[in-house]
Amino acid sequence: MSFRIKTVAELTGIPRNTLVAWERRYGVIQPRRTDNRYRLYSEDDVATLIELKTLVGHGHPISEAIELLQRADRSAAPAMATGRPADGLQAVASELQENLMGFDRGSADRVRARLATVPFRRLMREVFTPLVTAVGQGWTRGEVTMAQEHFATAWVRDQLVSLLLQVECGPRVGRLVACATPPGERHELGLLGLAVELALSGWRVSYLGPDLPLDAIAGYAGSERPALICLSVVQARDASWVSELVGTLRPALPPETHLAVGGPGVPDSIDLSIPGVWCSRHLGEFSPAAFATSVSHGVPPWTPEPAD
């Protein structure tokens, strides 16, 4: 999905003239051009600009903010060709796991401090997600105690909340999205990660948290009129449970509010043909930037559409 500069200015809160100046003076973002020379920005471009704005808001000059992000990318040396996490960040995830398995939050916090300039998306995808996955697999095999698993996931939750706060839940002018889990669902790490991704993609996130009654979700939607509600389902559910959830909630939402239900708890066989509703196991693959286009064309937004 691609965006014109006017839209990017609205999503990021960075004035158009500033975007052009940063591009010309620092080469921070090099948008591709259409045949008639209009600038087109990608989702990653938008996320980078939001992170730069966050660093500038914390007192860094723009040149220093750019250097911090570039230095973080260089030091991590991503292994893009194989799709595996960069060796440097993979080692950090392992170090964090060792600290957390020993209930040593102080050491874990000091390791996290070394990653202060690593882009947020890379932190989530190459540090926090592998860490949580490794701890969960260890618990399944009986190698990690419940206390260790809870301690580690609580620490990761703190980090994700911090990221969401640092990006101020997304730009004030962004389209409003509410993130929650349905009744009985207390797992929220995946939902928090999605909330950060949404904020970095220019959405205004209202994080409602876990285990929220459906009438509370409907009441919020009725008063705030969000463009989208994302519900994360981690516990294994069957198709009838998902159908009942959607069948109860969808009629209670405003017509303009769309609903996305996803996560590993959603069965692969789910197939609901309800306007404005998407269900998938892969909520993490939801493309926030493609949402507006997908709504107008009735295309599920789990996979980005080709750029214009």
What is the rounded distance in angstroms from the CA atom of residue 260 to the CA atom of residue 230? 5
Instruction: Mark whether 147 and 250 lie in a shared domain.
Output: no
Instruction: Mark whether 180 and 277 lie in a shared domain.
Output: yes
Instruction: Mark whether 215 and 262 lie in a shared domain.
Output: yes
What would the mean pLDDT of 283-288 be, rounded to a whole number?
A: 53
What is the rounded distance in angstroms from the CA atom of residue 93 to the CA atom of residue 190? 17
Instruction: Mark whether 280 and 241 lie in a shared domain.
Output: yes
What would the mean pLDDT of 16-30 be, rounded to a whole number?
A: 87
Final residue belonging to a domain, choices 17, 47, 75: 75
Binning pLDDT at 50, 70 and 90, where does residue 212 land?
very high
Q: In the structure encoding, which two tokens stand for residue 71, read together?
A: 């230095």
Question: Is 51 inside any structural domain?
Answer: yes
Of 40-44, 83-87, 282-286, which gets the smallest average pLDDT?
A: 83-87
For 70-123, the pLDDT digits (tens) are 765 655 444 333 333 345 788 888 999 999 999 999 999 999 988 877 888 888
Report how many domains make up the chain.
Answer: 3
231's enclosing H/E stretch is: strand 228-232
For residue 75, count other CB atoms closer than 10 A to its CB: 14
Binning pLDDT at 50, 70 and 90, where does residue 152 land?
very high
Of 2-6, 91-95, 146-150, 252-256, which gets the smallest average pLDDT?
A: 2-6
Instruction: Mark whether 282 and 202 lie in a shared domain.
Output: yes
Instruction: Mark whether 271 and 186 lie in a shared domain.
Output: yes
Final residue belonging to a domain, choices 50, 75, 100: 75
For 234-256, the pLDDT digits (tens) are 899 998 999 999 999 999 999 98
CATH code for the domain in which residue 224 is found: 3.40.50.280
Most confident of the following: 2-11, 46-55, 232-241: 232-241
